[in-house]
Amino acid sequence: MPDTFMSIKDVSSYLKIKEQTVYRLVQDGKIPGLKLGGQWKVKKDHLDKLFDAVLEEKMKAING
Domain boundaries defined on the chain? 5-63
pLDDT for 64 equals 75
Indicate if the pLDDT at residue 2 is higher than 70.
no
Q: Give dist(CA 53, CA 6) in Å, integer.
A: 20
Verdict on whether the full-model pTM lies above 0.85: no
Q: Give dist(CA 3, CA 44) in Å, integer.
A: 8
SS (HEC) of the chain: CCCCEECHHHHHHHHCCCHHHHHHHHHCCCCCCEEECCEEEEEHHHHHHHHHHHHHHHHHHHHC
Arithmetic mean of pLDDT, 45-60? 92
CATH fold group of domain 5-63: Molybdopterin biosynthesis moea protein, domain 2 (3.90.105)
